Amino acid sequence: QGTRVGFYSRTCPRAESIVSSTVATHFKSNPAIAPGLLRMHFHDCFVRGCDASILINGSNTEKTALPNLGLKGYEVIDDAKTQLEAACPGFVSCADILALAARDSVVLTGGRSWQVPTGRRDGRVSSASDTANLPGFTDSIDAQKQKFAAKGLNAQDLVTLVGGHTIGTTACQFFNYRLYNTTGNGSDPTISALFLPQLQALCPQNGDRTKRVALDTDSENKFDASFFSNLRNGRGILESDQKLWTDTSTRTFVQRFLGVRGLAALNFNVEFGKSMVKMSNIGVKTGSDSEIRKICSAIN
């Protein structure tokens, strides 16, 4: 595999604690970095593997591409890297810092911890056009499944990992088309009739497209299974999220997270750690196509 738990135990024993204390400090002044870092790790892993390609600055790099414009938390990774270079120069990769910071973000919002295998190396390429294979918010379940399968992740991993939307927010522009009669078909019928006017009030038809709304209504700061109850109740925000309930092939997993009788129960917070370990091992680099960056925003 290339990664293992405790990779830095001899070369940089404080590596994990330096990352977690840095994330915790930033989280205290700005809790939005927790969802930000979790999403950043996902967007890193799905493009050229978990190799910190997302962190590179420059024209036409991944971070300039449309799906990445809303990412938050770059300064947290840079801060951790500065401290790690002081403590053990040249040892800890930016890709590992990001994988650890994603785990720490889940823990800070009340999720369960897991052991993150480390030993990733940093990539030397970052290109905006590579982000085309990231899932989109209008994708069908078949398309979502295909994009995850292409990374070795199955339907259960898909439902579990999209459960990361239990924290954080989205801009109105990514779902307001569901709320109004724009195509002549009325609003999206999978939205609960009680919930529709609430969402319309949050995102008026010609209102601010950048206004942010919780992805998990009433539980945006807590890492819990509430996101799945909202899907069951027609309270999913993104079209792609609500489809996890509409489509019977993924609905079963949602029901299992909700403990529906007659189905084998799954604990969301336990499964999340397992699926994250799988995701964070996508395309891990070990060879000469990689390096340990000195600064996370630039190749050496």
Give me the 6-45 binding string for ligand HEM, x by CB under 6 A, dash otherwise.
-----------------------------xx-xx--x---
Q: What proportions of the chain, in percent to the nearest 5, are helix, strand and coil?
A: 50, 5, 45
Q: What angle do CA 140, 47, 112 make, to 5 degrees?
A: 80
Give me the 48-67 binding string for Ca ion, x by CB under 5 A, dash otherwise.
x--x-x--------------
Nearer to ligand HEM, 140 or 198 (CB): 140
Residue 212 phi/psi, 5° resolution?
Answer: -105, 140
* 144 forms part of the interface with Ca ion (CB under 5 A): no
Q: Which does 48 bind (CB under 5 to 8 A by kind): ligand HEM, Ca ion, none?
A: Ca ion
Among 13-21, 122-130, 136-144, 193-201, the segment contacting ligand HEM (CB under 6 A): 136-144
The CB-side HSE value for 196 (13 A sphere, CA atoms) comes to 14
* 243 forms part of the interface with ligand HEM (CB under 6 A): no
Which residues are designated catalytic? 43
* 122 forms part of the interface with Ca ion (CB under 5 A): no
* 47 forms part of the interface with Ca ion (CB under 5 A): yes
In contact, 266 and 225? CB cutoff 8 Å: no
| Nearest residue to 113 (alpha-carbon basis) of 280, 279, 274, 282 | 274
Give me the 174-203 binding string for ligand HEM, x by CB under 6 A, dash otherwise.
x-----------------------------
Residue spans of alpha helices (H) in 131-191: 141-149, 155-162
216 is in an annotated binding site: yes
Q: Regarding beta strands 290-291 and 4-5, do their DSSP bridges make them parallel or antiparallel, or are they unpaired?
A: unpaired
Residues in the interface with ligand HEM (CB under 6 A) total 25
**Cα Rg, the chain, nearest whole Å:** 19
* 111 forms part of the interface with ligand HEM (CB under 6 A): no
Nearer to ligand HEM, 120 or 293 (CB): 120
| Nearest residue to 159 (alpha-carbon basis) of 77, 234, 80, 251 | 251
Contact set with ligand HEM (CB under 6 A): 35-36, 38-39, 42, 70, 72, 135-137, 139, 144, 161-162, 164-165, 167-171, 174, 215, 238, 240
